[in-house]
Amino acid sequence: MADNMGEGEPHMCEERIQRDVKVRADLQAIPLVDPEEVLFTDSCCYRHPTEGLKAAYAVMRRTSKGFEELLIGKVTGKESTQLAELQAMIAALEWSEGKRVNIYIDSAYVVGAIQVELSQWIRAGFLTTAKTPIKHEKDMKRLAEALMKPAEVAVIKCRGHDKADTVVTKENQEADSAAKKAAGYTAQYIMMQTERTVYDLLPACDANVLIKEQQKASPHELTVWREREATESEGIWRSPDGRPVLPPGLIASMLQEAQGLTHCGKTQVQRYLTHWWHPFLPAMIENYIRKCRTCTEYNVRPTVKPHKGKFPLPRMPVQEIVIDCTDMIERVNGYWYLLVAVDAYTGWPEAIPAKKEDAKTVIKFLINQYIPMHGFPKRVRSDNGTHFKNKDLQEVEAALGLKHAFGTVYHPQSQGKVERMNQSIKGKIGKVCAQTKLSWVEALPLALLSIRSSVNSITGFTPYELTTGQQFPGPGAGQQILEGGEASLSYKPYYDQLTTLVSAFSKQVGLEKGALQSQPPSTTDWVLLKVIKRKWSEPRWTGPYRVVEKTSHVVRLQGKGENWYHWSQCVATEPPTRTLEQIRTENE
């Protein structure tokens, strides 16, 4: 075999690669030596305030005297920077027909298309893998034709907006300026100036300024000063301990300066203003901080504390179930999630592994597993996740006659029964896996078996006992057949005993769980809403919002859709009013 290695048709791999990868074999990415022409292309695309997007391109030519503008053009149709760069290259190639030319461009999109993608698009018929036309299909076909027109061509990528002192950089900047001029773009500078700087909050407050400001006080204010034993000496009003009286014209500026950029609290502001006196200074400081928007949004404050509530107790099994989907973190055979349903009356758990957290999984669970085994629940409770709150599930539940109730947003306690069940299932699965080395999917039935046959610390019964009226069959169930050879109970007596036992269990469960007690709702009409997913630099509260509907534990707010929020996420606040600064500005 080795003797025949020199025979046969020789391989031309390098030539084949050049032919397949490049549109033309002599296409270069580095400058040609001694070219006839050196061209630079650039584009500009911007949004005009009234005319919308505007785009244009320019082609510059290097001459013995410097640079000259060779071609300019405007883009029509769907203007974009990519399309303008593409048309600029096409214009430069068509102008260079029959010549040896170097073309510089700062567009990675165009260079990548010419050097890499264009040959692939030609083989694919300018179609994507989805059999749809590629972007800018018409211009890409023109580019493929234009690339064949020069005798030799090199398309070189240069850096855009480079600050280097080179010939290529200067010529690229000339092309950029020409393209902006063709598009009608003019540089715009925005000057921003604060209304009031930190350093001019207060003028220099000498004796003359203080006397002038105190003289602006109204007769009523002067009367109050006198009643509080303030006296005038050398034109300056002073308190009984000798501190100057804070004039009304400087109160707002003084408070703003004392609070500073960090918006310090009431105690520190009082400390800063301790050398001034006013009969109502502490109250004014407290009111100023209470009205401060930044302090309202960022300060930690206590929320409304409703009394501990209870859901209405169901009167029978399967009357109400609570469902939830929890992430199991570890993937087993494609299963990521655990869908759990708990009977609100008996505490009986049902759970299945799920590959996706979506409405389809929930629908299949209800139709194929829960309802055939337990019957139709009258009420389904869950959180506000998209896998529960969606049109598909609503249509299925409406067809089955099920009512779906959603808990308050960002308040898992509203679904506390199923959240606690998630914790119990995960805990038991973890123990099973640690001892048996099974996966969590394989350990799930053992965990459910344990929970169904375990005594609930609140009711004193197991979910199995509350569901069937008897102990879970097994080693702990006691003797099942009467001793002494007596005959087993017939069907009718057994049914009567079972009914009586279940009824007795039901009464005991009701007493253990307690009756529902009505509580009056909060009386506030305006609240701030806590930001749940908050970054450290963002406000803690949003609002204020007006209360539209409320109960003892939840509230619905104007402008926040149909969602209900728990009172523990709200802070009572005052209705929005105009600030003193706004009133003062309007009167000026």
Q: Can you give the pTM of this predicted structure?
A: 0.50
Which phi and psi angles does 405 have, rounded to 5°? -115, 135
Can you state the angle between helices 251-259 and 580-587, rounded to 10 degrees? 140
Tell whether the model's pLDDT for residue 571 goes beyond 80: yes
For the CA atoms of 295, 299, 301, 303, the dihedral, rounded to the nearest 10 degrees, stands at 90
* Cβ-based neighbour number of residue 520 at 10 Å: 9
pLDDT of residue 154: 93
Q: Which of 559, 521, 567 minimizes the C-alpha distance to 543?
A: 559
For the CA atoms of 504, 506, 510, 516, the dihedral, rounded to the nearest 10 degrees, stands at -140
75 token code pair: 């883009």
Q: Compute the distance between CA of residue 425 and CA of residue 555 in angstroms, rounded to an integer.
A: 32
DSSP letter (8 states) at residue 367: I
Domains of the chain: 13-183 (3.30.420.10), 199-291 (1.10.340), 320-472 (3.30.420.10), 526-586 (2.30.30.850)
Q: Compute the distance between CA of residue 325 and CA of residue 342 in angstroms, rounded to an integer.
A: 12
* Residues paired with 59 in a beta bridge: 41, 71
Give first-to-last CA distance, the chain, whole Å.
Answer: 103
Q: Compute the distance between CA of residue 110 and CA of residue 540 in angstroms, rounded to an integer.
A: 47
DSSP secondary structure string, 378-392?
Answer: SEEEE-S-TTTSSHH
Residue % of the chain over a pLDDT of 70: 82
Per-residue pLDDT tens digits for 295-353: 888 888 887 777 676 666 777 788 888 998 988 888 999 999 999 999 988 889 999 99
Q: Compute the distance between CA of residue 359 and CA of residue 323 in angstroms, rounded to an integer.
A: 12
Contacts of 314 (CB under 8 A, 6+ apart): 320, 344, 345
Per-residue pLDDT tens digits for 538-559: 888 888 898 888 887 788 888 8
Per-residue pLDDT tens digits for 116-165: 888 888 888 888 888 889 888 899 999 999 999 999 999 999 988 888 88
Q: Mean pLDDT throughout 417-431?
A: 87
Classify 573 in phi/psi space as left (phi over 0), alpha (psi -120 to 50) or beta.
beta
Q: What are the residue ranges of helices labelled H in 459-523? A: 463-468, 491-513
Is 425 in contact with 334 (CB distance < 8 Å)? Answer: no
Tell whether the model's pLDDT for residue 102 goes beyond 90: yes
DSSP secondary structure string, 102-131?
Answer: EEEE--HHHHHIIIIIHHHHHHTTSB-TTS
Per-residue pLDDT tens digits for 466-480: 888 777 887 666 555
Half-sphere exposure for 414 (CA within 13 Å, toward CB): 20
216 token code pair: 């602006």
Residue in the block written with tokens 């102990």: 471
Tell whether the model's pLDDT for residue 508 goes beyond 60: no
pLDDT class of 485 with cuts at 50, 70, 90? very low
Cα 276 versus chain centre, distance: 47
Q: Compute the distance between CA of residue 402 and CA of residue 378 in angstroms, rounded to an integer.
A: 5
CA distances from 319 to 345, 346, 375, 516 (A): 8, 10, 9, 17
Per-residue pLDDT tens digits for 340-399: 999 988 889 999 999 998 989 999 999 999 999 988 998 898 888 888 888 888 899 889
368 token code pair: 């194929």
Encoded amino acid at 78, one letter: K
Helices then strands (H, E): number in the chain? 20, 17
Q: What are the residue ranges of helices labelled H in 336-415? A: 359-365, 371-374, 391-400
Q: Which of 186, 162, 157 minimizes the C-alpha distance to 85?
A: 157
User: What 3-state class would DSSP assign to 305?
Assistant: coil
pLDDT of residue 247: 87
- Average pLDDT over the chain reads 82
Tell whether the model's pLDDT for residue 260 goes beyond 80: yes
pLDDT class of 15 with cuts at 50, 70, 90? low
Buried b (16+ CB within 10 A) or exposed e, 471-508: ebeeeeeeeeeeeeeeeeeeeeeeeeeeeeebeebbee
